[in-house]
């Protein structure tokens, strides 16, 4: 409802927690905010509300780099499971979650070695593809990826980063 009236999402964590009224259901406020964003994104997709969906996506991407990512690996796995249940494959938010997960998933941690048991198959396929890219394509000097949902083509064209093109047949997004 907040978005309908203000056309914005709160940037303050306390205000966001107050709006979603979930402060006591999980120990980590960052997870609560992230999970609420993903659920709101799923709702926007279900309602065919692309501007709201883009606002949620872009808010999530922005907040991730400002501390929202501060959660343990199990919470990140949980977010991936929630996102892959109800968000269609061509959405860049899914690739963002996989790419960020690949940055922190290390096999040295015994608990993480069994991650494949806890993650959806489609997310694991994306992880394999991402690791392949990271291993085989020199990352130095490589153009950055854009995970924002641009509401209009002008915004996308003005952005100098690579954007995901979804290949329906391959069920994979390619950044170009």
128-168 pLDDT, tens digit each: 898 888 888 777 778 899 999 998 878 899 999 999 999 99
pLDDT number for residue 137: 75
Number of domains in the chain: 1
CA 55/CA 40 separation, integer angstroms: 10
Pick 127 or 12 by higher pLDDT.
127
Question: Residue 153 falls within a domain, yes or no?
Answer: no
Question: Residue 55 falls within a domain, yes or no?
Answer: yes
Question: Residue 112 falls within a domain, yes or no?
Answer: no
Question: Residue 171 falls within a domain, yes or no?
Answer: no
* Domain assignment of residue 12, given as a range: 2-105+119-143
Average pLDDT over residues 118-137: 87
Provide the b/e sequence for 105-123 (b: ≥16 CB within 10 Å). beeeeeebeebeebbbeeb
Across-strand partners of 145? Answer: 162
């Amino acid at each position: 409802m907040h978005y309908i009236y203000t056309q914005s999402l709160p940037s303050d964590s306390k205000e966001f927690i107050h709006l979603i009224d979930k402060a006591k259901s999980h120990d980590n406020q960052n997870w609560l905010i992230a999970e609420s964003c993903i659920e709101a994104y799923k709702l926007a997709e279900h309602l065919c509300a692309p501007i709201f969906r883009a606002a949620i996506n872009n808010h999530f991407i922005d907040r991730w780099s400002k501390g929202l990512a501060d959660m343990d690996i199990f919470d990140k796995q949980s977010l991936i499971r929630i996102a892959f249940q109800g968000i269609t494959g061509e959405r860049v938010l899914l690739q963002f979650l996989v790419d960020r997960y690949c940055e922190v998933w290390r096999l040295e941690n015994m608990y993480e070695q069994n991650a494949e048991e806890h993650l959806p198959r489609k997310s694991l396929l994306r992880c394999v593809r991402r690791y392949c890219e990271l291993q085989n394509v020199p990352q130095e000097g490589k153009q950055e990826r854009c995970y924002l949902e641009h509401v209009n083509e002008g915004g996308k064209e003005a952005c100098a980063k690579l954007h995901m093109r979804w290949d329906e047949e391959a069920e994979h997004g390619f950044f170009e």
